[in-house]
Structure 1
Amino acid sequence: MEYKLLALDLDGTLYTSDNRITKNTRKIIQEARKKGLLVTLATGRNYPSAKLVAKHLNLELPIITNDGAYIINHLDDKPLFEKRIENEIIIEIVEVLLQYNLNFMILHESSSFGNFNYLGWRMFLRFFNIHSFKTLLAEKSKYRRMSNDKIIQYIKNNKTKPFKIFVDGNHEQINEGRLELEEKFKDKIRITNSGYGMEILSLNISKASGLEILTSELGFDKKEVIAIGDSFNDLEMIDYVGLGIAMGNAPLEIQNKAKFVTKTNDDDGVAHAIDEFFLKIKA
């Protein structure tokens, strides 16, 4: 099979544990692009953050952000697809999250708000290098932190519907909150996990649905696509494409779904997979 498109997850996949994209990985990506492989991003991150990465890698295709809820051409900021959650549902979800004392961030295309502490130590320690610190600052500048009692009123006054809710907090409380949300909104939302926290999306939205839209736009068959990821929000994407690859640092459940398991994100796993399944074939 000749592969034409590569979709890359970011955190835990393209990025190392200390939030770098290695020189070798960048080099291999550019070599593959020169030999005809198209590259896009498929990430749970919001658009401003993903756009910085796309520019850093000089990518040209539309990118899949917010776990498939927002697909956009970052070169001219023109959306290809968007699927938002109704504000009435957002309010009900927030009320459940507050009952479990969970921290959350509600994401729009270029801004976000919530009670999440963006510059807390857990978040800060993820950003060790200049590129990632710039990403953190770019995201932080678009984020508005509020007290719990003001959030619901803000949603009521804000006519723009969001794409996603990111939830952080105690694992036991997250699991309890998830069970209640899945029971209450089972025909309205999809809940997944990025490895960093719980993510709430519109029903049937995933990185796989995003790739289906993008491949249709490009005129490719899904069998011509490689996707690489490491977490539970990558499962559908890995299962959907012709060659689904799991990172060596991925949980076993993700690895078992994949057709191939590459090296870890700290051992240039993305570069190794590209070399194995594209560059050697093109040599």
Structure 2
Amino acid sequence: MNEQVKVVALDLDGTLLNSNNEISDFNKDILWRLKERGVHIILCTGRPYNAMKKFRDELSLDDHVICFNGANIVDKDEKLVLDTSLDTETSLELVKVGRGRNTYFHGFMEDKWLVPYTNEISEKYKARTGLTETVGALEEVEGLRFTKMMYIGENALLREIYEELEEKLGERVYKAFSNPNFLEVLSGSSSKAKALDFFLKKKGLTPDNLLVMGDSYNDLEMLKFAKYGVVMENTPEELKEQFDLIAPGNDEDGVGRYLKDFFEL
């Protein structure tokens, strides 16, 4: 067993979860075996806590979980121990950009999923996450402070929005694509890497003790932060070519197969 690695951090969608939005029995078995050996298993997702809790429960994890791409950390007692939500001024500016670009967007504020209107996009997101939406004009929400904001649409348009946000808001916001059609925006003080750094310091550990697995651009910082950054075979080529460690795809039990070999289970 590799004794140096004390923490394994796993993205959910496209990494630990297969295309059926499930954790395979093989992956579960490997993670349980690692947990029995004292390895911390940290789930790191762009999802809110209430859309990832079932996976934490399935794995019987008693460690922190990282939600909203690092904007929130929830401890084993379901207490929020880190919150880097956006301020109201920036949140309203993000809504204004979405309106100006005539694209669908929605946001999260604490445990609420805020949508300006329902459509096919919101219904698909609802089916995938199991969330229940609150519908209405987002700029009219009292004390609006997004934990995370998302623009959803064609990649070319989202790249234009990315550049507009870069120009208008700069380092006030953190921007990343969780897939080509999802542009996620958080506080500039948020990222999965920063949340993992917070956790490691609490445990008296360093990035040398960390193995990370992910598949998309919102995983980039934590993949580079860890001593062992492992990308999935289903990762976009542009991102995958930046890393030497590659696991089988998420539909091939990639997480479990890689960890089984790495830890010589």
Report TM bin, short chain. over 0.9
In structure 1, what is the Cα distance between the partners aligned to 2:159 and 2:243? 26
* Equivalent residue number for residue 11 of structure 2: 9
In structure 1, what is the Cα distance between the partners aligned to 2:123 and 2:248? 26
The reply on whether 1:266 has 2:251 as its aligned counterpart is: yes
In structure 2, what is the Cα distance between the partners aligned to 1:85 and 1:17? 31
* Equivalent residue number for residue 185 of structure 1: 169
Matches for 1:193-232 after TM superposition, within 5 Å: 193-195=177-179, 196-232=181-217
Alignment partner of 1:226: what SS? Answer: strand
- 5+ residue gaps, structure 2, are none
* Equivalent residue number for residue 104 of structure 2: 103
In structure 2, the CA distance between the partners of 1:161 and 1:21, relative to structure 1 (3 Å rule), is same
In the alignment, is the contact (CA less than 8 A) between 2:84 and 2:189 conserved in 1? no
The reply on whether 1:170 has 2:120 as its aligned counterpart is: no
In structure 1, what is the Cα distance between the partners aligned to 2:237 and 2:155? 19
* Equivalent residue number for residue 32 of structure 1: 34
* Equivalent residue number for residue 230 of structure 2: 245
Q: 1:71 aligns with which of 70, 73, 97?
A: 73
The reply on whether 1:236 has 2:226 as its aligned counterpart is: no
The amino acid that maps onto 2:66 is I
The reply on whether 1:52 has 2:36 as its aligned counterpart is: no
In structure 2, what is the Cα distance between the partners aligned to 1:5 and 1:177? 35
The amino acid that maps onto 1:115 is P
Q: Which has the higher strand share?
A: 2
In the alignment, is the contact (CA less than 8 A) between 2:193 and 2:225 conserved in 1? yes
Q: 1:43 aligns with which of 32, 42, 45?
A: 45
- 5+ residue gaps, structure 1, are none
In structure 2, what is the Cα distance between the partners aligned to 1:116 and 1:226? 40
Q: What is the RMSD computed on CA atoms of the aligned residues?
A: 1.9
In structure 2, the CA distance between the partners of 1:115 and 1:231, relative to structure 1 (3 Å rule), is same
In structure 2, what is the Cα distance between the partners aligned to 1:50 and 1:202? 21
In structure 2, what is the Cα distance between the partners aligned to 1:52 and 1:118? 26
Q: 1:145 aligns with which of 135, 141, 166?
A: 135
The amino acid that maps onto 1:106 is G
Shift of 1:116: 5.9
In the alignment, is the contact (CA less than 8 A) between 1:43 and 1:65 conserved in 2? yes
In structure 1, what is the Cα distance between the partners aligned to 2:63 and 2:119? 29
Shift of 1:104: 1.3
* Equivalent residue number for residue 88 of structure 1: 89
The amino acid that maps onto 2:170 is K
Shift of 1:23: 0.8
In structure 2, what is the Cα distance between the partners aligned to 1:41 and 1:116? 30
In structure 2, what is the Cα distance between the partners aligned to 1:269 and 1:178? 31
Shift of 1:87: 1.0
In the alignment, is the contact (CA less than 8 A) between 1:230 and 1:251 conserved in 2? yes
In structure 2, the CA distance between the partners of 1:258 and 1:116, relative to structure 1 (3 Å rule), is farther
Alignment partner of 2:15: what SS? Answer: helix
In structure 1, what is the Cα distance between the partners aligned to 2:28 and 2:118? 31
Once the two structures are superposed, what CA deviation does each residue of 1:84-112 show, in whole Å capped at 9, x if it has no partner? 10111111111111111111111123112
Alignment partner of 1:14: what SS? Answer: coil
The amino acid that maps onto 1:172 is A
In the alignment, is the contact (CA less than 8 A) between 1:102 and 1:170 conserved in 2? no
Alignment partner of 1:112: what SS? Answer: strand
